[in-house]
Amino acid sequence: MNVLVAGGAGFIGSNLIEKLLSLGSKVICIDNFFIGTKKNIEQFKENPNFVFYEENLCDRAKLDEIFKLEKIDIVYHMAANSDIQASAKNPEIEYLNTYTTTFNILECMRVNGVKNLFFCSTSAVYGDAQGEEVNELFSPLAPISYYGACKLGCEALISAFSYMNDFHSMVFRFPNVIGPHLTHGVIFDFMKKLHKDPTHLQILGDGNQCKPYLHVYDLVDCILKFSKDIPEGVTIYNVGGTTQSTVKSIAEIVCKEMGLKNVKFEFTGGRGGWKGDVPVFAYNLDKIHKAGWKASMTSDEAVALTVKEAL
């Protein structure tokens, strides 16, 4: 099977490619290294089943050439700007890297007769639900970040293209994903700060922000399980773990795994860490659990493993 991983040099994409290659798939990776890195895919270079194109997914003509050449069976669309704080300063980042890339992929699928799509969405489409447990039918969807807004727009495009072209589309809405190849986020930031100053750690907000964290190994296993035979139309799942971690507990886990003691925590204060941050988030996972999948790690276990892997 010929598999296209859009954004394959990124954090989640590179972990997915590793698993796909181990299963014998031919993997076509497209990335322009906006977020992804050459290091993430270096290990695949000698694999005869791995093909890489350094291209911008906003260039539809180039993308269409790749579709025609590679005879793609399924698209795993992982390409997006996943750094919400970066796009808070420049919303066009989301328009180009999240929304436009999605439209171009869908249009190339339509023109070239590709029917199968997996799309990485996000819990950010729900907005700030004030800690209310949200399921896939929760409304209204009112994202508060440009990232969440563009992902929601992508879901709308996928819905329309799927209906008009008989696509088989799988959409996962997941929260904070962590693990090998992580390039940003709270764990990455804490470790970076503590490497510079192991005695002091500034923590944005009051430290009580509480969210579920999912290890990328669990996410990749779930992606592969549910993308084997995607039903016609659009299927949406919340995907995550059943537990949560506070920002303060993450700081404590990072310090413990780094072997640091008596680190002074400095809280900047406020309910959220930054504009667009959803301080408290709770997922309803009944649908994915009934379908036969559960995360193997708790949120705190995923955090601890991520720190160990990064040391």
pLDDT along the chain (311 residues), means of 10: 96 96 97 93 96 97 98 96 80 94 98 98 92 93 93 98 98 93 87 96 93 95 96 97 95 96 93 75 94 96 95 86
pLDDT computed for residue 274 by the predictor: 65
CA pair distance 241, 294, nearest whole angstrom: 7
CA pair distance 64, 106, nearest whole angstrom: 11
pLDDT computed for residue 85 by the predictor: 76
Dihedrals φ, ψ of 30, to 5°? -120, 130
Sign of CA dihedral 55, 222, 20, 109: negative
pLDDT tens string 173-226: 998 899 988 877 899 999 999 999 999 999 999 999 998 999 999 999 999 999
pLDDT computed for residue 159 by the predictor: 98
pLDDT computed for residue 215 by the predictor: 96
pLDDT computed for residue 219 by the predictor: 97
Amino acid at the residue 199: T
Structural domains for the chain: 2-177+214-238 (3.40.50.720), 179-212+242-282+297-310 (3.90.25.10)
pLDDT computed for residue 282 by the predictor: 87
Dihedrals φ, ψ of 122, to 5°? -160, 155
Mean pLDDT in the chain? 94
pLDDT computed for residue 89 by the predictor: 84
CA distances from 30 to 78, 142, 270, 306 (A): 10, 31, 40, 26
CA distances from 174 to 10, 155, 158, 220, 262 (A): 16, 14, 17, 12, 34
Distance of CA 230 to the CA centre of its chain: 20
